[in-house]
Chain A
Amino acid sequence: MAPGETAGPSSWGRYPHVDQRALALAWASDPLPEGTEPLLPYGLGRSYGDVCLNPDGPVLLTRELRRFLAFDTQAGVLRCEAGCTLGEVAELTLPHRWFPPVVPGTRFVTVGGAVANDVHGKNHHRAGTFGRHVRALELLRGDGTRVVCGPSANTDLFRATVGGLGLTGLITWVELQLASVMGPWMEVEAVPFSGLDRFAELTATSDQTHAYTVAWVDGLARGTALGRGIFFRGNHAEGGGDLPAPRLRLSVPFDAPDALLSAPLIRAFNAVYRHWPRGGTKRLSTWKFLHPLDAVGNWNRLYGSRGLLQHQSVVPGPEAVQELLATAADSGQGSFLTVLKTFSDVPSPGLLSFPRPGWTLALDFPGRGAPTFALLEKLDGVVRAHGGRVYPAKDARMSVDTFRAGYPEWRAFAAHVDARFSSGFWRRVRGEL
């Protein structure tokens, strides 16, 4: 086995390395595996750090819970098992002009994972988080009971489960209200911008006119160039025609050696954006616009065997973002992929939901030991000084204090955590380690 490769499931950032044991649940009606050791549901491992890992116990593989249970094509209500991916949901529902109400940057996430991390997408300014569109879900608790909860039933448990990182029990199925779309294609536009003030203008106007907005920021720019980037905006387009199946254009078969890390990787990532159609409106497949990196299988391996550490935070606005970008640039560890988006004041439903009104910035760093961790700690300091918070789904190392400061409702949440469930993340931010 190559260094850094684990025998079992791992997280997308491939840090921390854990020799993770695994059990599987094949049927939603089956009981949890016998025993008392803490479990953690594991879907496709697309969260970056340790919210999907359970170093002291097994993870419970849920991917086989992937059956559709009911689909009302008139009302756009889908009930499916929690291991279905959003890509599979979209493939089923798009021909009927329905689409998942919220999708993150990849279609390879399970519905259960989307609830547990209360994910957001490029349409957050209108749709809010994924959890807002959940009509009901079933939770299998450690004591064997099954609880159906939703916005109007067992609401306390629902608020803990949405964004609850799999700690309140196993989500067996989810009933979703899908979003009505005009067709399977999107009209998209890319607009270069010179700095954060220009981004602010673009986002203010585009959020009115476009369902999806996001910006790529040049993570290697410094000085006056700091904060330049490309703004992407899109709408579902009219007109039918079958959507071509999403294509995997290439796949990364093994870890990039550290020596090759920087230049080729930055080029690879930036190529995704550089080849974007500019100037005027272009018609693109939904997949290509919403999930550009899905075209490259296992792109996380480009970061080498020491893994990838992402830092995604939400802060009040441009001053804090400017400071975060400058901190990263000054460290000499340029962020390889930097993404910026504004969150609106659409309220998030979960006690631990990440999105709150403000600007969210995601920075990607290859794991290079102590200097990387020092930088991440510094970034946390900026976030805290501005009253922001860090996204657990992307985190592998935030301190107990950073977590508590960002999520004041953690105490109320902790009361709902099921004794049979735990994770590396939870033990860490609860201050147990």
Chain B
Amino acid sequence: MPPRRVLILGATSAIAQAVARRYAQGGARLALVARNRQYLDVVAADLRIRGASALWTEVADFLELERHAALVDRAQQALGGLDIALVAHGVLPLQAEALADSRIAGLCWQTNFVSAASLLEAVGQRMEEAGRGTLGVLSSVAGDRGRAENYVYGASKAALNAYAGGLGQRLAKKGVRVVTVKPGPVATPMTAGRMRRPGLLSDVDEVARRIHRGLEAGWPVVYAPAYWRLVMTILKLLPTRIFERLRG
């Protein structure tokens, strides 16, 4: 099998790095895009040592939506086509700060939903033209039902789920799969010291293994770890009166 051609948008996120490591070990050709050059270079060097057969990097601020189309074109050209793309960037604001300052909430929605949806569309259209490819997006279990603890963040992911679901339905007829990834809380720098029960954080490598499998198989929705599917199914079905009595 020729090496996989994989584009990762938001390549310095901890989960994205863990997924990229798995592809690098398999000798993939990787295109990595992130905001910070210094971080991106360290990640790229690591992936090269781990076995990536080609590496292309570019620095971008995803809030500049008008640049998305050209960015994806360059990546596609550098890789010689796209087998897999993963939209992985996102921010987790402190809920209290986001409630007190709507600019913080707005930036969260801009980043997690608006820019992610724009990138999904840009990649999706190119995969549609090629008639093949798998397009993954890192969402979250927090998007399945708004909870008091994190509904600012959760709302951005809920919107993303709707977008990815619709895009997936549209592209299914064109040979393109859209994979919505919903990790539970993962032990990463984004969550360090911020969880009420750090014991419930999942290991990032375990989550990445699941995501890698879901991308390769083209599953429409990937919960990572898998047990979150059951947890969220129950939580979604819970009548509101009961849900409201639960702790955050």
Contact = CB atoms under 8 A, between A and B. Distances in A.
Contacts of A29: 38-39, 42
Nearest to B18: A66
A23 B42 contact: no
Given A1-B197, A69-B42, A64 B189 contact: yes
A26 B45 CA distance: 16
Contacts of A22: 192-193, 198
B53 to A, nearest CB: 15
Interface in A15-29: 21-29
Contacts of A61: 189, 192
Interface in A289-309: none
Interface residues of B, number: 18
Contacts of A69: 42, 45-46, 49
A27 B199 contact: no
B11 to A, nearest CB: 12
Contacts of A64: 14, 188-189
B114 interface: no
B189 A67 contact: no
Prevailing SS type, chain B contact patch = helix
B49 A27 contact: no
A79 B47 CA distance: 14
Given A1-B199, A21-B193, A23-B193, A70 B39 contact: no
Given A23-B193, A25-B189, A68 B39 contact: no
A71 B49 contact: yes
Given A1-B199, A22-B198, A26-B14, A70 B193 contact: no
A58 interface: yes
B45 A27 contact: no
Interface string A1-23: 10001011100000000000111
A7 B46 contact: no
B50 interface: yes
Contacts of B49: 68-71, 92
A67 B46 contact: yes
B198 A7 contact: yes
A69 B188 CA distance: 20
B43 interface: yes
Contact of A68 (B50, B193, B196, B198): B50
Interface residues of A, number: 24
A58 B14 contact: no
A62 to B, nearest CB: 10
Nearest to B43: A67
Nearest to A78: B49
A67 B49 CA distance: 9
Interface in B122-164: none
Contact of A24 (B38, B46, B193): B193
Contacts of B39: 27, 29
A227 B87 CA distance: 60
Nearest to B203: A63
B104 to A, nearest CB: 20
Most A CB atoms within 10 A — which of B14, B49, B50, B196?
A: B49
A26 B199 CA distance: 20
A11 to B, nearest CB: 15
Contacts of A28: 42
A254 to B, nearest CB: 11
Contacts of B45: 67-70
Interface string B169-211: 0000000000000000001110011001111000000000000
Nearest to A2: B199
Interface in B23-46: 38-39, 42-43, 45-46
Interface string B50-88: 100000000000000000000000000000000000000
A7 B14 CA distance: 22
A337 B48 CA distance: 42
A8 B198 contact: yes
A234 B234 CA distance: 52
A63 B188 CA distance: 9
A7 B197 contact: yes
Contacts of A7: 196-199
A58 B192 CA distance: 11
A71 B47 CA distance: 12
B42 A27 contact: yes
B235 to A, nearest CB: 21
Contacts of B14: 26, 64
A61 B190 CA distance: 12
A27 B39 CA distance: 7
A69 B45 CA distance: 6
Nearest to B36: A27
Given A1-B199, A5-B199, A68 B46 contact: yes
Nearest to A68: B49
Nearest to B192: A24
A70 B50 CA distance: 10
Nearest to B45: A69
Contacts of B50: 68, 92
Interface string B102-121: 00000000000000000000
8 contacts: A7-B198, A21-B193, A22-B198, A27-B39, A29-B39, A64-B189, A70-B45, A92-B50
Interchain residue pairs A-B with the least CB separation, the first 4: A24-B192, A67-B46, A26-B189, A24-B189
Given A29-B39, A68-B45, A92-B49, 14 more contacts: A1-B197, A1-B199, A7-B196, A7-B199, A22-B193, A23-B192, A24-B192, A24-B193, A28-B42, A29-B38, A67-B46, A68-B50, A70-B49, A92-B50
